[in-house]
Amino acid sequence: MLLPRVPSWVLPFGLALAGCDGAAPSRTSAAAKGQPADVPPLTTATTDPSPPVKSEELPGPAAANGAPIANAELSADVRNANAFTFKALARMKKPTDNAMISGTSVRNALGITYLGARGSTAREMATALGLDNDANVAARLARAELDAWQDSKGGAELNIATRLWIDDDFAIQPAFAKTAETSFGAAPASVDFAKSEDARKAINTWVAEKTKDKIPDLLPQGAVDARTRLVVTNAIWFKGRWEFPFRKPETKDGPFKTDGKKSVTVPLMHQTDSLRVATEPGLKVLELRYADSQLAMLVVLPDDPQPSALAKVEASLDPDTVDKWTAALATARVNVTLPRFVFRSGGAMNTPLQELGMKTAFTDKADFSGIADPHASERLFVSQVIHQTWISVDELGTEAAAATAATMRTTSMITGPVVEFRADHPFLFLIHDTKHGRLLFAGRVTNPKSP
């Protein structure tokens, strides 16, 4: 039996750190770099298995990983992460373009470098990324986040992979390497950045593998060179089925208004079902759950099809607003129209991060002495932050699941007026953990036909 294509979301993220001068440090052993991966693997991250080590054996911030995390700390981190996601989305491309970002991925990769930041570099990163001012707490929260995703993904497929790519001739602090792996699942790998093209291809091959070949070229030519000392990559791959799939025979071509006047013809999916929806001033919010999981997509649809209406809604995004929307969700009969869409988004993030206050990290005044000895021949700074996304949305489901869902729809159908939710003009989408409240992805769709 042929199964329908199940859409997936992929978000790889990479940043490169270079030395402030061209002098090459002396070669050091792998042990000096902290490269033996003798730490427990994370269940949510695709790390290589390795023998366990007791937490009290871990130096520096990692020693605090076993300490309990207060609910207030967890709640604050979720809100800070979501706030960062909204701020970053507002700076991704023009408001009239399709865009998607994952605060989880960006904070994961940059959070690793934050563990080694000191002074004003650390303070700016904490402010810009919404990280705890205490690196010990930030490390524990990172591990807690990975555990929470594992708890909520259920039957959905969600893989989070992170890796440190360390130059053969560069020594990093062993404590930093161990903390990166225990808290973020970031296994170290040795590469020779003097052979920059070979190193770039090796990193891109790893990212392509972790994203099921959806992002084959995260690092463009020239992204790394002989002065690159460390690259941190993070990849998120998500695949899920709607709890109530759209029936493919009901998908029909129709107009999607791109700017209030112009339109493009795209496949529009249809269904009438018992779903959770909220009607707020000027907009509607629809929740589409993923089967056998705590994950869901929120589709935020302005009443006004003009692009300015979507921009206004996007500018109002913050954790309190989303909390208000989710609290207002109630089950009703909903007649849903939603376009199928596939698009790519991303590019350099240096400027958006600097606009959020992370400035010193990109200069020769950066202090990442927790990663490498500041008295060595080179000081680290962030040379480039690259972010790419890919998303595909369609009817989602197998023939058997659709039949089962049809039975459930019949027995659970609510009587009463039908709420019209016709997403035939620009809208926002938020993929989030309904149990813990954290966003995995946030994006906007202004033209389903744009690649």
Model confidence pLDDT, tens digit, residues 202-219: 999 998 888 888 888 888
445 compared with 2, residue with greater pLDDT: 445
pLDDT (tens digit, 9 = 90+) per residue, 265-320?
Answer: 999 999 999 999 999 999 999 999 999 999 999 999 999 998 889 999 999 999 99
Q: Is the pLDDT of residue 225 over 80?
A: yes
In this predicted structure, what is the pLDDT of residue 150?
A: 92
> Using CA atoms, how far apart are residues 259 and 248, in angstroms rounded to an integer?
27
Q: How far apart are CA 391 and CA 272, in angstroms?
A: 24
**Tokens at residue 49, please?**
């298995």
Residue 265: its pLDDT value, please? 96
Q: Please check the confidence at residue 20 and state whether its pLDDT lies above 60.
A: no
Cα–chain center distance at 80 = 14
Please report the pLDDT score of residue 426 as a whole number: 95
Q: Are 443 and 428 in contact (CB under 8 A)?
A: yes
Q: What percent of the chain lies above the pLDDT cut of 70?
A: 78
Q: What is the pLDDT of residues 386-437, one digit of tens each?
A: 888 888 888 762 222 111 111 122 123 445 678 899 999 999 999 999 999 9
Q: Give every CB contact of residue 77 below 8 A, 6+ residues apart in sequence.
A: 130, 132, 141, 144, 145
d(CA 237, CA 403): 27
Q: Which two three-digit tokens encode residue 43?
A: 């269940």
Tokens 């629809």, residue located: 286
pLDDT computed for residue 315 by the predictor: 92
Domains annotated on the chain, with CATH? 8-23+41-48+65-240+343-391 (3.30.497.10), 248-339+397-445 (2.30.39.10)
Q: What is the largest CA-CA distance in the chain?
A: 75
CA angle, residues 190, 191, 192, in degrees to nearest 5: 135
Are 92 and 208 a contacting pair, CB within 8 Å? no
Structure tokens at 369: 């002495």
DSSP for 194-225, please give it.
TSHHHHHHHHHHHHHHHTTTS-S-SS-TTSS-
The model's pLDDT over 125-178, given as tens digits with 9 standing for 90+, comes to 999 999 999 998 999 999 999 999 999 999 888 888 888 888 888 888 999 999
Around 71, how many Cα atoms within 13 Å sit in the side-chain half-sphere?
Answer: 2
Q: Rounded mean pLDDT of the chain?
A: 80
Pairing of strands 186-191, 228-239: unpaired
